Chains A and B, each alone.
Chain A
Amino acid sequence: MKYLRTFAEKCNGCNICMSVCSQLYFKVDDPEKSAIKVAPTDKNTFTLSVCDQCRRCVAECPSQAIIVNMQGVVLINKALCINCLACVAVCPTSTMMTWRGGLVPFKCIACDACAKQCPTGALKTETKED
């Protein structure tokens, strides 16, 4: 499956990835609307949270709005989503995202846009066995 692999030790906390993601999908620069989250730790390092395409949400979705594409990436069909947020609750990595006032959750689809802009090589789109 295709997924965004993270190398937290290389992250410098520039947050460019969050800007790229939110601008690409929501047309705003807003970390709340980014599918990748960068958070500082108390040791001057950073954690990176992003979907690993584990598919727990696919089984949970009551309207079968969440599907897996040919490349193994988990996608949300907005037309079928009934906004229950069960997928958000079940996500083991807390990377099925919501924003205040939003109805449909969103997530990383391994589009590679952020990885391309990352100045330190902390993000890379890769494939792995299912």
Chain B
Amino acid sequence: MNDNESKYDIEKIRKAHKVLKEFTYELKPVVKGYNDRTLYINLATLEITIKPVPAEMKKKFIGGKGYDLKLLWDAVGGDTRWDSPENEICIATGPIAGNTNYPGSGKSLVTTISPQTGIPIDSNVGGHFGPYLKFSGFDAMEIQGKSDRDVLIYIDGNQGQVQIMEAPLEATDSHVVAEQLHEMFAANEREKQHVSVVSAGRGSEHAWIGCLNFSYWDKRRKLPRLKQAGRGGIGTVFRNKKIKAMVVKYSGLTGKSNNPVDLETLQKTGLKLHKEIITLDDKQCQMRTIGTAHLVEIMNDYDLLPTKNFRFGSHPEAKNLASWVWKAMFTQNVPDGCWFGCTMSCAHGIDNFELRTGPYKGHKVLVDGPEYETVGGCGSNPAIFDPKAVVEINFYCDTYGLDTISFGTLTGFIMDCYENGILNQERCGGLEMTWGNWEAALEMMHQIARGEKFGLIAGKGIKFMQEYFVKEYGADAQFLKDIGMHGKGLEQSEYQSKESLAQQGGYYLTNKGPQHDEAWLIFMDMVNNQIPTFEKKAEALHYFPMFRTWFGLMGLCKLPWNDVEPADNAKYPEPNKVPEHVQNYVDIYGAITGEKITKEELIRQSERVYNFQRVFNLKMGHGKRVEDHPPYRAMGPVTVEEYESRAERYDKALQEKQNIDPAGKSTEEKIKLLRQYREAQYESLIDAVFKRRGWSSDGVPTVEHLKAIGMDLPDVLALVKQHLPKTQEPVIAKEDARNQPAKAKKPKKTSAKSIKKPAKKGKRSAKSTKTAARPGSKKRARVLQKPKRAKGVTLKAKVKPAAAKSKAKKAKPVKQTKPGKTSRLAKKPKPIKKSKPVRKAKPTKKSGLIKKAKPAKKIKTIKKSKPAGKAKPVKKAKSKKK
């Protein structure tokens, strides 16, 4: 086959199209970063219209995720569910998106009511669709209604045309359909880069963890690349609406496509960052050569790499997943960005990877990544340390349209349940879900894609499985709650938060569930001890989620903010905020839109949307304090095995924090005592954070706060009034008060001091603690996002706020270590040290568990089902087959 010969019968596929609706519109240039209009499509009625963006919407919601949420709010009611016809998928960019000068400016923001959480999810994704949609004339698009047949939506941004057409013959799996459609809609090879495709995959048809793939054409590889809007099941909604794919075509991109008011400042600022990245990246995060996977060994060294369903933070075999392994597998090794002009170029790919399983077995394919989250989720967490297995899981997750984070975290959960006897081969559709059994994990994924057996249960996520296992297998609900790593229904992303109270808040005091989008505070909190008090943690849990929200308003990627830093960053106040880069954002916003803002106004823009999203959760019947709690495994040791793996740390914490002598106490007793303390600490953290955010103690934004920030829309105020106590708790109502750090109710000086050191012991930790202190250094990592919500099952706080107070009072005053000024972390990956022997073979004994732990087996083959009787007897066990 020569280069121009297609693998597919494109003409046949094209001829099968039947245009159901055609719509033409007037082309207009983007002005100062905005079109001021959005596209509305209804798949049931085939209505296609253009909506102008009212001035107030622009002012209050800014763009991107703000626009998405506003459009979604107007479309749904409190009783809308993910599969209700009125639910929408909204895709937006933002005023800065699509510029080619400033790295990281090609992001799309996607929202919907999530099948996993029942509240709005938003996901930030690369690829060319969003920017091309923008230059085709729309700041956002919303898709409502459900089709009764597979359809394709096509937007031609040069002709001013939108079409909805039946698409019966295109493939469903993303790597195939993306290639077919790039080829179909490009007149020649050169035009392929002007096309972008959004698709899901057959896994999205059966699972609730479906993701969307946004493509861009890789001119060097002559293949489409796929970037994922991964979290929260947006792909599931996409396939539920019977959308096979969406295609946008636009040519004519230049550095002036946004019609910026000040091109020179935009170019100058972009060039400065380009140079910084090119000069410093090799010495800092190596995003250009390795990407986010550079974090694997760092996380492992700091005991933060999730292992065995988040029981542990490191593993001796993690070296098999270290950055150098990926670097050796990546091919081409040229700058590889997901949007034009992003010199950070963190996308990497593995060409000609030969698959060992599934429907594409034997095919040689291009695999994107893997990125850190995928390695943590699909590698270390289920204890899969074969890098080729991780790449294959990565490939199939992408092409099936499944979120690698949710898939990885839920696979770890399943393996944990398997080891604990809650599951067995029969219940798992014939799969032996033992730690590290990658073939079984992949076969489970193929079951999801085929919509059969255990795959149908697993694909619905941890929250669903918890309820199912309790109901069907009589599993211990409390134990499952403790080890099920999700919040609000969304699986946690891949960092160990056990020893960082601030990170627990970063994950669970979030709007959409525990993801890495809002606040990544582990290093600030646990390694550098920069935020020892509740007030400081609360301030960080206000500032960083707001700051990071701004990327979502603009259509920006977060990585160029702090995955490279100016060489002299450390000498400025608050280096963890990377002040020079914050100023860059202020400058380029002004350069494109002509609106001069300050860095404080930048936060205010986000705060409006952030609070709006919180109120949106209320609208959907969620969004209160009760849903903001982590599973205990995110906070501390659930089992004897976990406690003993860090016994020294925990014993010391009991002594120093709680004034309890651990000597003579059983591990079970110590677990209980530690848990009481940590849960109380978390309650105090919630108090401090809610206060700082201007929310009531139940987590509802107050009327005064909404007025102060300018998010006082009548329907928003009416809604919060229903949820606020009659005599509203005045939290922080006034403008001035917002700049004051909130004070935690009591333990003024209580701190999470016990966490000040990284888990790793030995020379490295002492030294690294200092070096790592440098905020924004390569050690700093990504983020987490949303707070969890429990649907159906509400989490009971172990310790009530009152109790929390009294406990907290006893805590010792905090001694703050010197923040900042420390040098950067070592640039070169350090060898992974051996893990502590403790964690090796101890059988898990969870408190109050139903059954005894079975030692994990290393069997790698998928065996036939054994009779359920082999598993430890489970209460009310039913040999139910799905």
Interface residue ranges, A against B (CB under 8 Å):
59-60, 62-64, 82-86, 88-90, 98, 100-101, 103
Contact = CB atoms under 8 A, between A and B. Distances in A.
A60 B275 CA distance: 12
Interface string B211-246: 000000001100000000000000000000000000
Contacts of A103: 254-256
A82 B255 contact: yes
B270 A63 contact: no
B687 to A, nearest CB: 47
B719 interface: no
B264 A84 contact: no
A101 B263 contact: yes
Residue with the highest number of chain B CB atoms closer than 10 Å, among A82, A86, A98, A101: A86
Nearest to B256: A103
A89 B255 contact: no
A84 B278 contact: no
Given A84-B270, A85-B255, 6 more contacts: A63-B219, A82-B341, A83-B100, A83-B256, A84-B340, A90-B274
A84 B255 contact: yes
Residue with the highest number of chain A CB atoms closer than 10 Å, among B101, B219, B267: B267
Nearest to A60: B335
B274 A86 contact: yes
A11 to B, nearest CB: 27
A73 B49 CA distance: 51
Interface of B: 100-101, 193, 219-220, 253-256, 263-264, 267, 270-271, 274-275, 277-278, 334-335, 337, 340-343
A contact patch SS: loop
Contacts of A88: 271, 274
Contact of B271 (A59, A62, A85, A101): A85
B254 A82 contact: yes
Contacts of A100: 264
A77 B101 CA distance: 18
Nearest to A84: B341
Which 9 pairs, one residue from A and one from B, show the smallest C-beta to C-beta distance? A83-B255, A84-B341, A89-B274, A84-B100, A89-B275, A82-B340, A82-B100, A62-B340, A103-B255
A63 B193 CA distance: 9
B270 A85 contact: yes
Contacts of B270: 84-85
A85 B341 CA distance: 7
B352 to A, nearest CB: 21
A106 B879 CA distance: 72
Contact of A62 (B256, B278, B341): B341
Contacts of A59: 334-335
Nearest to A88: B271
A67 to B, nearest CB: 12
Given A83-B256, A103-B254, A103-B256, A89 B271 contact: yes
A83 B220 contact: no
A103 to B, nearest CB: 5
A84 B257 CA distance: 12
A97 to B, nearest CB: 12
A84 B335 contact: no
10 contacts: A60-B343, A83-B341, A84-B101, A84-B340, A85-B270, A89-B274, A98-B271, A101-B263, A101-B264, A103-B256
B343 A86 contact: yes
B254 A83 contact: yes
Given A59-B335, A62-B335, A103-B255, A86 B267 contact: no
A89 B340 contact: no
A59 B299 CA distance: 32
A98 B275 CA distance: 14
Contacts of A90: 274, 278, 343
A35 to B, nearest CB: 18
Contacts of B340: 62-63, 82, 84
Contacts of A85: 101, 255, 267, 270-271, 274, 341
Contacts of A89: 271, 274-275, 277-278, 343
Contacts of B219: 63-64
A90 B256 CA distance: 21
Contacts of B337: 62
B275 A64 contact: no
A98 B255 CA distance: 13
A82 B275 contact: no
A30 to B, nearest CB: 16
Contacts of B101: 83-85
Contacts of A98: 267, 271
A8 B193 CA distance: 43
